[in-house]
Amino acid sequence: MKTVNAQPFNYAFDPETTALIVIDMQRDFVEPDGFGAVLGNDVSLVRKAIAPCSRLLRQAREAGLFILHTREGHRADLSNCPPAKLTRGGKTFIGEPGAMGRILIQGEAGHDIIPELYPQPGEPVIDKPGKGAFYATDLHLILQARGIRSLIICGVTTEVCVQTTAREANDRGYEVLIPEDCCASYFPEFHRAALEMIKAQGAIVGWVSNADAVIQALR
């Protein structure tokens, strides 16, 4: 077993039964002119997670951890996009032409993962239509088949897809750790509050740590 210095108390994990999952580090959320930027957000706030994620990914690969990536997006005909999601906020963006192809559409440049964190061969990529990575995907099946019990979750945004996935994972019996500098939000106060909620009440959803602490445990 390895131990990570974490809050609200130390997080113990066995690398053999632990997976690192990188949530939605897609060009549409992280690069200028993507979906996040079109929504009016400052992408520099979420780009801060790239370097810590990159360092943690490198160490996790070296340690032989099971690594997965997710992408939020939809079929080109939008048949797996709920109408409510299309018009949320009163405007339509998903499926419309953007600077990197149609926004959040599978196969478009903006839907793909940023080059800095690009998946390596053998690392599953989970395409998901919702915010949580377990909803309408084969993620749980893949994790169960590998005997995974602990999940280290990184990516964007902290209070939307990271938090939703952490809650889904916790309810399915996984022990969740979030390295706080490996995730980010367009709203720093939401990032902070989401992490507080995760670790509250004695790790009611999971543990919070940081890239360096996890890297140290993996060494």
What residues are labeled active site?
Answer: 24, 128, 161
Q: Which of 161, 169, 178, 183 binds ligand TIU (CB under 6 A)?
A: 161
**Angle value at C-alpha 123, between 120 and 128, nearest 5 degrees:** 115
| Residues of span 80-109 touching ligand TIU by CB under 6 A | none
Q: Which of 157, 165, 209, 210 binds ligand TIU (CB under 6 A)?
A: 157
| Residues of span 112-131 touching ligand TIU by CB under 6 A | 131
Q: How many residues of this chain bind ligand TIU (CB under 6 A)?
A: 9
**Angle value at C-alpha 207, between 55 and 182, nearest 5 degrees:** 25
Q: Could you give the CA distance from residue 84 to residue 146 in angstroms, rounded to a whole number?
A: 35
Cα distances from 8 to residues 64, 196, 209, in angstroms, run: 27, 10, 9
Q: Which of 31, 72, 168, 181 binds ligand TIU (CB under 6 A)?
A: 72
Any residues with CB less than 8 A from the CB of 218 and at least 6 apart, and which? 2, 15, 59, 60, 62, 63, 65
Nearer to ligand TIU, 12 or 190 (CB): 190
Token pair 């939809």 is found at 74
Q: Which of 11, 24, 130, 182 binds ligand TIU (CB under 6 A)?
A: 24
Nearer to ligand TIU, 25 or 218 (CB): 25
For 98, other C-beta atoms within 10 Å of its C-beta total 22
Any residues with CB less than 8 A from the CB of 99 and at least 6 apart, and which? 33, 34, 110
For 202, other C-beta atoms within 10 Å of its C-beta total 7
Q: Could you give the CA distance from residue 131 to residue 124 in angstroms, rounded to a whole number?
A: 18
Q: Which of 60, 94, 105, 160 binds ligand TIU (CB under 6 A)?
A: 160
Which part of the chain contacts ligand TIU (CB under 6 A), choosing from 53-61, 73-81, 108-116, 156-164? 156-164
| Residues of span 28-47 touching ligand TIU by CB under 6 A | 29
Q: How far is the CB of 98 from ligand TIU (least distance, A)?
A: 14
Q: How far is the CB of 95 from ligand TIU (least distance, A)?
A: 14
Interface contacts to ligand TIU, rule CB under 6 A = 24, 29, 72, 131, 156-157, 160-161, 186
